[in-house]
A and B are shown apart, each in its own frame.
Chain A
């Protein structure tokens, strides 16, 4: 190995770098915790943890500059540091087995968190008692839905992600005889948004619909509007609506019963439970399931949780989580736990031997 490479490896694998990275991480976590008062949990996740750099505004200049390394950068560097340390310094011996296990588990945990951050998709399903649904709705993403109800057997829906509307380019779809053009797009039209757990932006847009001969209609859409607007042209009518993005599932859920138990003589909630019927499209499943607090229903790569209730206990809110990396923390925790126990147990045994020798 050439000396320059060895030197670089030594620097990258040094314990000083480990300590520096951990200290920066500690500072970042602290700052992010304090900032939750302003940004809410979701905003903080985006700004600090799911980013390479934390951007801040410098007073006086209308410029945002990186002020701190973000979670991805620190986590990534920590992985590099750890891997390099194992190449440069550690040998795989029985005495170091605990440290190896701990570090492998830690790498797995960091990678798993990165993957979850990138792939996890949360959505919710609101069901009234007796209602059936085959889709869940996004918390933060919206879509423009253009519905053609002319066929009595089914509706033909064309959906356009709100992100695409924001680009303000004409949007053509083979399913529509006209193009959609954004005149103006407002990412968030509700005042005082962004605080709190799930206060998402609510977008609105001014749209034009263009046929071959020019503008055939306009619409002002907002996710806050409850009713769709209609567009008529050449004897046909479409419903136009900006709504939460929908994820269609290969099964249907019907809410049979929702219970909200309280402790006797108080308002303290004891349990929330939804009894649902799940019917899969492939005909393999048709059964009853109870989803309650701390008891999610895992089904076809999704985990469905009891998240809340509304409408005087007539509506149950279920959270639908898609996260292919969910088993990773379980595995890495096992590894790290075993590693720490091995490492500290070994040290304790050594200490015990030494003090026995002394006495």
Chain B
């Protein structure tokens, strides 16, 4: 068993990954998956209807699936079709997530009325919708930073309902703008589809969908090809699978310090490698679909930070066979995917680039290097944290392991300094090229500079002999705090040029993360255990 565990793990991971990549089987007589592949243009981007459905569902309910009033799970295509053509049924689906108790009270609802206490159907609050609109309007008048939790909740829900209504009536011509435009000028008649779906006539439905796809393939073959792949990509959810693999990799790595060190370590690396390959595929697919470098927004920066950190870990694990890099890498991989999941709740993650950002040259140089700097600084911090915790919590002090960890962290800090410096400076050069100043002390610029300065402080402390192994590790853990501030904290200030992706609820997460790092640093400051007399 001990010898075969890595192979068994590999076989199981391979099977799981292969299964996740298979196209989902068709349920029922309707070709729903084919409907989901129809390309349309929404928010400036050509995308499959599947993405339109999933993005709206994610925004409204926080999930990519819907649930019927009877409690049966339905896919995004079916939800979209009901929303478009069977309003009474769609209105009964509990797809609106409402967390705020005061908003619930305004709507005359109680938490126990909702699915899981948080999801409600439009029907449940339609009677009080006018009051919600009034509250949202009042909230709109208030400056964004001054709004109360109730006002934010009311405004958010009103926006979600608006997105829903936009879909619901978009094709009826009763709205100023449809939910999407077509990929070509060919006029599209949705009446047969409406009738087919309303009468639940699979034959007519499938005929319309096949014809529509054939027309689209004639008008814009590339759009159809990309849409097909994007719908497949959406259904495969590669990042979700890699998230699970990271959990397994971390558990194996942590167990390897207790028993079966080499076998469990290898198994951990196997899972890490699978997760890495999957994440690479996912990022590559996004790059091809968007025609962009890997990092274009906060969401993709989270994917990329995790990806780069895991790549470095796999290299480090070949040099230092201690499972410390594997544990750190799987933690970062998992954490960044969780962050990405929460960021995806704000809608389509492949949004078009605003004018000032529309430059593949700078996105692929400045943004990629600075994100690599984040990844390396986090990696140094996580490797240091894992090594510190292991050293503090283990019964026997292991000087050799501590030395090896310190050497590793020193190496990563050098790498991080290089990339964060070059990335920061390239950002300055982009700023000079695009609005005439190299450096303007904007919050995001300051954040990037703080990472560079902190890494420089660590290196100079080390060179000056002001710190030894323990000190180096502790300072590297603080690098996590500096990087988290730069990555997210600066966006929360709501000022400056980079204040995109303002996420108020992320604030608590950031505070918890910072406190955890400080706790690890405090733990490291405890006097080391004396060697137990044999």
Cα separation A223 to B425 with both chains bound (whole Å)? 38
Contacting chain B: which of A171-179, A212-220, A228-236, A269-277? A269-277
- By the criterion CB–CB under 8 Å, are B453 and A25 in contact? yes
Known: A25-B453, A45-B441. A340 touches B355 (CB 8 A): no
Residues of A with C-beta under 8 A to B415: 344
Known: A264-B181, A296-B434, A333-B425. A271 touches B496 (CB 8 A): no
Q: A334-358 interface mask toward B, CB cutoff 8 Å, 1 = contact, 0 = none? A: 0011001100100110010001000
Cα separation A347 to B464 with both chains bound (whole Å)? 17
Q: Is B351 an interface position by the 8 A CB rule?
A: yes
Contact of A336 among B180, B358, B421, B446 (CB under 8 A): B421
Q: How far is the CB of B499 from chain A (nearest CB, A)?
A: 10
Cα separation A26 to B448 with both chains bound (whole Å)? 11
- By the criterion CB–CB under 8 Å, are A41 and B422 in contact? no
- By the criterion CB–CB under 8 Å, are A265 and B457 in contact? no
Q: How far is the CB of B293 from chain A (nearest CB, A)?
A: 15
Q: Is A33 an interface position by the 8 A CB rule?
A: yes
Known: A19-B460, A263-B352. A49 touches B441 (CB 8 A): yes
Name the interface residues of B450-504: CB closer than 8 Å to any CB of A. 450, 453-454, 456-457, 460-461, 463-464, 466, 485, 490, 493-496
* In the complex, residue of chain A having the shortest beta-carbon distance to the beta carbon of B494: A37
Q: How far is the CB of A119 from chain B (nearest CB, A)?
A: 12
Q: Is A305 an interface position by the 8 A CB rule?
A: yes
Q: Is A303 an interface position by the 8 A CB rule?
A: yes
Contacting chain B: which of A52-60, A158-166, A242-250, A322-330? A322-330
Cα separation A85 to B441 with both chains bound (whole Å)? 28
Contact of B356 among A33, A116, A261, A294 (CB under 8 A): A294
* In the complex, residue of chain B having the shortest beta-carbon distance to the beta carbon of A25: B453
Cα separation A41 to B494 with both chains bound (whole Å)? 12
- By the criterion CB–CB under 8 Å, are B464 and A268 in contact? no
- By the criterion CB–CB under 8 Å, are A293 and B358 in contact? yes
Size class of the A contact interface (CB-based, 8 Å): 35 or more
- By the criterion CB–CB under 8 Å, are A263 and B44 in contact? yes
Known: A265-B42, A341-B418. A29 touches B493 (CB 8 A): no
Residues of A with C-beta under 8 A to B428: 329, 333
- By the criterion CB–CB under 8 Å, are A26 and B450 in contact? yes
Contact of B436 among A266, A319, A348 (CB under 8 A): A319
Q: A250-269 interface mask toward B, CB cutoff 8 Å, 1 = contact, 0 = none? A: 00000000000111111011
Q: How far is the CB of A116 from chain B (nearest CB, A)?
A: 7
Contact of B41 among A22, A45, A264 (CB under 8 A): A264
Cα separation A15 to B465 with both chains bound (whole Å)? 9
Q: How far is the CB of B243 from chain A (nearest CB, A)?
A: 30
Q: Is A194 an interface position by the 8 A CB rule?
A: no
Contact of A329 among B41, B432, B440, B496 (CB under 8 A): B432
Select the residue from A36, A45, A303 with max chain B CB neighbours within 10 A.
A36
- By the criterion CB–CB under 8 Å, are B463 and A15 in contact? yes
Residues of B with C-beta under 8 A to A271: 355, 358
Q: Is B390 an interface position by the 8 A CB rule?
A: no
Q: How far is the CB of A205 from chain B (nearest CB, A)?
A: 31
Residues of A with C-beta under 8 A to B496: 36, 41, 197
- Known A-B contacts: A44-B441, A294-B362, A307-B435. Give 13 more (CB < 8 A): A19-B461, A29-B450, A30-B450, A37-B493, A37-B495, A41-B442, A265-B41, A265-B177, A293-B358, A293-B434, A323-B437, A329-B432, A337-B422
User: Using a CB–CB distance below 8 Å, which chain B residues touch chain A?
Assistant: 41-45, 177, 180-181, 319, 351-352, 354-356, 358-359, 362, 407, 411, 414-415, 417-418, 421-422, 425-426, 428-430, 432-443, 446-447, 449-450, 453-454, 456-457, 460-461, 463-464, 466, 485, 490, 493-496
Q: Which 8 A-B pairs have the closest CB atoms?
A: A263-B44, A15-B464, A321-B436, A266-B44, A333-B425, A265-B181, A269-B355, A293-B355
User: Using a CB–CB distance below 8 Å, which chain A residues touch chain B?
Assistant: 14-16, 18-19, 22-23, 25-26, 29-30, 32-34, 36-37, 40-41, 44-45, 48-49, 113, 116, 120, 122, 197, 261-266, 268-272, 293-294, 296, 303, 305, 307, 319, 321, 323, 326, 329-330, 333, 336-337, 340-341, 344, 347-348, 351, 355
Cross-chain pairs A/B with CB under 8 angstroms, 27 sampled: A15-B460, A16-B464, A19-B460, A19-B464, A19-B466, A22-B453, A22-B456, A26-B450, A30-B446, A33-B443, A41-B440, A120-B437, A122-B436, A262-B44, A264-B44, A264-B181, A266-B42, A268-B43, A268-B351, A293-B356, A319-B436, A321-B437, A323-B437, A329-B428, A329-B432, A347-B414, A351-B411
